[in-house]
Amino acid sequence: MTFASGRFIRPFTAALALASAFFVISPASAQNTTPTGVRGTITALAGDTLSVRTKAGKDVAVKLAADTAVRGVSLDKIENIKSGSYIGAASIPQADGTLKALEVHVFPPSLRGSGEGHRAWDLGKNSTMTNGTVGDLVVSNGRTITVKYPNGEKKIVVPADVPIVSLTLGDRSLLQPGTHVVLFAQKSADGSLVAKFISAGKDGIVPPM
């Protein structure tokens, strides 16, 4: 099963402070601006400027800073998620109070704690993002994962057809034309976008988060 289909690239429909799922902006640098999310396909990288074409066909130029983090995204299996794993999951609510996952991404140990918590997301009506540590795993009518974070936890049902991916630390060598990316950027004083982090799909993978 592959998730390289463009159906996992969805345009952002609202500014929901989405970048908090992946990084924290310091008060000194926030300047009361909302991070901008960009999902699409790289068309070029010239110097420190990354060009991305969104699904809607819009060309977006994003600058890379010295501290712009790049992460690789690879397919994974739910069997590799264990109690104690640190994960993120975009989900939608169900009638019984649980959440149904739309995607799950597994962080490496070096990124444990990234964006920990539960917040609004944009992969569907009433969707949310939950980042935290896996507690219980129950296999019954699918798999239910308990994700724990400070002052809370969520039970997330992961259907069999939901994409599971893993994140790895990467570098600019991943930013090749044709690569599918999800990135969050901060608007600078001159109006240009500066990427804070970029998740780049490996081997044609479209980052599903």
| pLDDT tens string 55-99 | 889 999 999 999 999 999 999 998 899 999 999 999 999 999 999
CB count within 10 Å of CB 36 equals 20
- Do 119 and 20 form a contact (C-beta atoms < 8 A)? yes
Segment 45-51 mean pLDDT: 96
C-alpha distances in angstroms, 67 versus 61, 139, 197, 198? Answer: 18, 41, 9, 11
Per-residue DSSP letter, 204: T
Residue 151 exposed, middle or buried by CB count within 10 Å (0-12, 13-18, 19+): exposed
CATH topology of domain 22-73+168-201: OB fold (Dihydrolipoamide Acetyltransferase, E2P) (2.40.50)
Taking alpha carbons only, the member of 22, 181, 167, 199 closest to residue 81 is 167
Show me where the domains of the chain are located.
22-73+168-201, 75-165
Residue 19: band (very low, low, confident or very high) from pLDDT cuts 50, 70, 90: very low
Segment 172-176 mean pLDDT: 97
Q: What percent of the chain has pLDDT over 90?
A: 67
Task: Quote the pTM value.
Answer: 0.79
